[in-house]
Amino acid sequence: MSSSDTTAAETDKPSKRHKTASENSTAALPVQASDEPLFVASIGVRWRDLDAFNHVNNSNFLTYLEEARLQWLRHVPGPWFDEHAMPVLAASEVNYRQPIEWPAQLNVELSCERLGHTSITIAHRIVDAEQTDRLYSDGKVVMVWMNPSTGTPVPLPQAIRDSAESAGA
């Protein structure tokens, strides 16, 4: 039987799927946009980041974003992970606006777009450190805190919530 031979009853069946982390989250708290970013990481482009076209390979943009998030987390006052709560990357969106050539010094700007019960959405921009109107990339990631033993989402640590709320104030 081909997929076009399905009956109306079969197409009306609800699909069975697991809820996503955002569907499991209860009330998300909007965060007021601020001119102040959550964190700005300074990152230098390395020769090894280049590809055959002599610009930064697109996969390295994700490395720059990861490095910026880790720098931010190191500056978060208070505990943000332990044996019962660790962050995982649940989603990543990267919009490539223009190539990055070597040499370059970059600023990776992070801002909190949304605070959920178990997740935080972090918007990001990669810009030239000297010409901050030169946008190389923007987008966002969703980080979910989960219990590594059970794989289930857990509430955001208070240190993360406080850091995001103080940047949005």
pLDDT of 9 over the 50 cut: no
Helix, strand, or coil here: 106? Answer: strand
Q: Is the pLDDT of residue 88 over 60?
A: yes
> Looking at the domain assignment, is residue 9 inside a domain?
no
Residue 155's CATH number: 3.10.129.10
Number of separate domains in the chain: 1
pLDDT in tens, 13-71: 444 444 444 344 445 554 544 567 999 999 999 999 999 999 999 999 999 999 999 99
CA pair distance 152, 141, nearest whole angstrom: 19
Q: How confident is the model at residue 168 (pLDDT cuts 50, 70, 90)?
A: confident
pTM over 0.75: yes
Residue range of the domain that includes 162: 22-168
5 lies in a domain?
no
Rg (CA), the chain: 20
The residue type of 148 is P
